Amino acid sequence: MKEARVTISDPEFDAMGVAGLVSLCREAGLRNVEELVCRGTGAVVQVEVETPLDEARLSSLDCVDRWERVAELPDARLYVVAFTAPELPERLADTADDLVGTCDPAVTDRGATVSFVGPQETIASIVEAYETAGVSPDLRKLGAYDGDDRPLDELTDRQREAIRTAYEMGYYEVPREATTEDVAAEFGVDSSTVAEHLQRAERNLLGHHL
């Protein structure tokens, strides 16, 4: 298992077709971005901002598939945004399925840094696909993944939280005692997001054992 840490600069956001989304979040005082689901050509992310996003502009962005304002805190707003980078090749979606996930996204005022964790050949294919699309991520590190080998450590934090919550609520009982909608209510997100978390988590766990 390898980990590649890459930096994507603002011009690369433009080449991917997501510069408008990044700019909108910064204008609202971007504090934090947490990836909930990686989809290769896009992702579902939770965005924390100081002031409300311009929701009319958010809805008009071509790269935004759906969004939801999930919480209003005393000094911040939380949104869940699903987006697809229109300029990235579709084959990235299939290649990304072989990753454990993209971890620790950090968005600054000049770009973003993320880690790809998975087999080295998968990471190489992803970087090549980005470059083919005219996006040149700056490779900062490529080395052995420092995480543990326990099966649950094959999951992202959000996947681990989702599958544990589903298990505790009886989602895996026969017959089921909870639905994806029930689990989603615990997270304050829509059921399709939870379903993606669970599907990714189950796939990674089965991959570890099979």
The pLDDT score that the predictor gives to residue 119 is 82
pLDDT in tens, 33-78: 988 777 778 888 899 999 999 999 999 999 999 999 999 988 999 9
pTM for this entry:
0.66
* Residue-range domains of the chain with CATH: 2-144 (no CATH), 151-209 (1.10.10)
Per DSSP, the residues of 85-106 read -TTS-THHHHHHTTSSEEEEEE
Q: Of 101, 63, 65, whose CA–CA distance to 80 is shortest? A: 65
Provide mean pLDDT across the span 109-124: 84
Q: Are 46 and 78 in contact (CB under 8 A)?
A: yes
Q: Which of 74-83, 157-166, 177-186 has the lowest mean pLDDT?
A: 157-166
Q: What is the pLDDT of residue 154?
A: 63
**pLDDT (tens digit per residue) in 2-45:** 888 888 888 999 999 999 999 999 999 999 998 877 777 888 88
Going by pLDDT thresholds of 50, 70 and 90, the confidence category of residue 148 is low
Q: What is the DSSP letter of 172?
A: T
Alpha carbon separation from 27 to 49, 157, 174, 194 (Å, rounded): 9, 28, 48, 29
